[in-house]
Structure 1
Amino acid sequence: MSLKPFKSIGIGVAFSPNLKANLFEAARLSVFFESKLFLIHVGETSDEKLNALRSILQSFEKDNLDYEVVFKAGDPVDVILSAAEDKKIDLLILGAVQREHFVKYYIGSIARKITRRAKCSILLLIKPSVNRVPCAHIVVNGLKDPKTEQTITTAFYVSKKLNSHKITIVEEINNEEVAVKVDDDKSLRRATIMKERIKLRENSRVKDIISHIPNDYTKGKNIKLQAIFGKKGYSIGHYAQISRADLLVMNAPSKMTFWDRLFPHDIEHILTELPTDVLILQ
């Protein structure tokens, strides 16, 4: 794994009430990850806008924040995606939207389109803050997938940089793997034994992944392995919510088809109702 998976960070900049909080979150992450920050504004260049951005980011001068403002007119989705490609952005930060009258967040239409089409990693923020809120607990998927070792390793990297003390690796297991109809004590015991064997197998697989991660990333961390039987995407999202995780780290889906958009699964469950901040890794 690259020692610096996020060499460049991008964020779409709109002059909205959340502007300062969004910029502070992006700037802090750029400092933590030692990344260059690209502020992407969909609109025409103006000295007034430049001065406003400089004024907000002035407090990060002491941290040697390296940033560049990109102005481009056009469709917001196309502008942000093209800027991400042109500037070789590794991580794109997007804001989520709170449902009216509910303390639940979801992806707005523009952010959803960007998330589905982006070729870089995505960080979805539900409550950007001017003052830093510590990231104490990270939940990361441990499903059996070619991308998972990279995802878990990056989660430990992020944990080190953000000074998180706890990481939970969630192994989502499809209920169909326990192909036993439970209708009496004997079949219940058989199903229980099968589940325990699957848990041991999955824990062994994840422990092997952790053994390959540099000790500098893992030392001093409270590492928990959590096997969950249920629907992929929904199960880990629900777990992140009830465990009050500060960040959920997921693999990006390999491909997104028309049918995936009609019938949500895996990552789509997360996008529908965000349990916390979500990092989707390409």
Structure 2
Amino acid sequence: MSIKPFKSIGIGIAFSPNLKANLYEAARLSVFFQSKLFLIHVGEFSEDKIKALKVILNAFKKDHLDYEVVFKTGDPVEVILSTSKEKSIDLLILGAVQRERLLKYYVGSIARKITRQAACSVLLLIKPSVDRITCQHIVVNGLKHPKTEETIKAAFYVSHKLNSEKITIVEEIKEDQVSVKVEDDKSLRRANIIKERIKLRENSRIKEIISHIPEEHTKGKTIKLQPIFGKKGYSIGHYAQVSRADLLVMNAPSKMTFWDRLFPHDIEHILTELPTDVLILQ
């Protein structure tokens, strides 16, 4: 991954009560990452809409925000996906929806479809804010996967740009890797020894990845390695929630099939119940 992975950022906008908060979040990230911002509106062009956007984004004039507004009619999912491709967008920002009566978040149907099909990275926001809320703690997946090294590098890049204080790398380990049936004290001790060996092996693998990350991205950070035995996707989501992480960074799934959605796993667990803001990296 290059030192500047997000050269262009896109966000689908609707003229709703959340418009200002969504624009402020996207504009701030564009300034932090020194990216061009594309505002994608599914609808007809109008001077009034352009004027409304200019009024809101005037706050970022001093930051020399580079942005472009794209108007296109059609199906929202198709419009946002096709525009992302046409404009070579690297990071697409989508708003998540709060489920009524339950203090949980889930991805709305449009955002869910876009997340599954997007060829670029996706940032899901659950609480967009006009005032900046500092991203202090980032949790990133460290599971053994070809994409993981680039994902961890990107998480450190984001942490550096957002001036986050702490990064936790969660290594999700399947329970079946401990091939011991616990029936008595002896088998319990054996299982614990195997778990400790796996933890040491996983921590060594992650430390090797961290050693290749530019020092400016790691300097001054509190870095924690957290091996967890459990179900992939669910375990890291639960950890991000209980540790009150501000951002969860995940690999994008290699392929999403009908069966993946019918029997949720990995990223689908995260999409069903967002623990915090989630960045899914391609």
TM-score range, shorter chain: over 0.9
**Hey, what's the Cα distance between the residues in 2 that align with 1:79 and 1:156?**
32
Equivalent residue, structure 2, for 1:179: 179
Matched, 1:161 2:161: yes
Q: Which residue of 2 aligns with 1:16?
A: 16
Counterpart amino acid of 2:47? D
Distance 1:27 1:3 in 2: 20
Q: Give 3-state SS (helix, strand or coil) of 2:167's partner.
A: strand
**Match of residue 267 from structure 2:** 267
How high is the TM-score relative to the length of structure 1? 1.00
Aligned-pair distance for 1:102? Answer: 1.7
Unaligned runs of 5+ in 1: none
Cα distance in 2 between the residues matched to 1:154 and 1:94: 19
Cα distance in 2 for partners of 1:17, 1:45 equals: 20
How many Å separate the matches in 1 of 2:179 and 2:97?
Answer: 40
Instruction: Give the match for residue 37 of structure 1.
Output: 37
Tell me, which stretches of 5 or more residues in structure 2 are unaligned? none
Are residue 50 (structure 1) and residue 53 (structure 2) matched?
A: no
**Cα shift at 1:258:** 1.0
How does 1:40-79 map onto structure 2 within 5 Å? Answer: 40-79=40-79
Amino acid at match of 1:134: T
SS in structure 2 of the partner of residue 12 of structure 1? strand
1:101 shift after superposition: 1.4
Aligned pairs (5 A) from 1:93-108: 93-108=93-108
SS at match of 1:41: strand
Letter in 2 for 1:146: P
1:164-188 residue CA offsets vs partner (Å, 9 max, x unmatched): 0100000000000001110100000
Give the aligned residue type for 2:231: K
Q: Partner of 1:85: helix, strand, or coil?
A: helix
Amino acid at match of 1:249: V
Task: Read off the aligned partner of 1:156 and give its amino acid letter.
Answer: F
Distance in 1 of aligned mates of 2:241 and 2:31 = 28
The one-letter code of the counterpart of 1:121 is: S
Q: Give the distance between the partners of 1:69 and 1:63, measured in 2 at CA.
A: 18
- In 2, the alpha carbon distance for the partners of 1:107 and 1:182 equals 39
Q: Which runs of 4+ in 1 moved over 4 A?
A: none
Report the Cα distance in structure 1 between the residues aligned to 2:156 and 2:280, rounded to whole angstroms: 14
**1:190-201 to 2 correspondences below 5 Å:** 190-201=190-201
SS in 2 for 1:228: strand
Secondary structure at 1:112's aligned position in 2?
helix
Question: Alpha-carbon deviation of 1:14?
Answer: 0.2
Structure 1 position 103, deviation (Å):
1.7
In 2, Cα distance between equivalents of 1:160 and 1:34? 13
SS in 2 for 1:182: coil
Structure 2: distance between partners of 1:216 and 1:108: 37
Query: Could you tell me how far apart the structure 1 residues matched to 2:258 and 2:242 are?
Result: 31
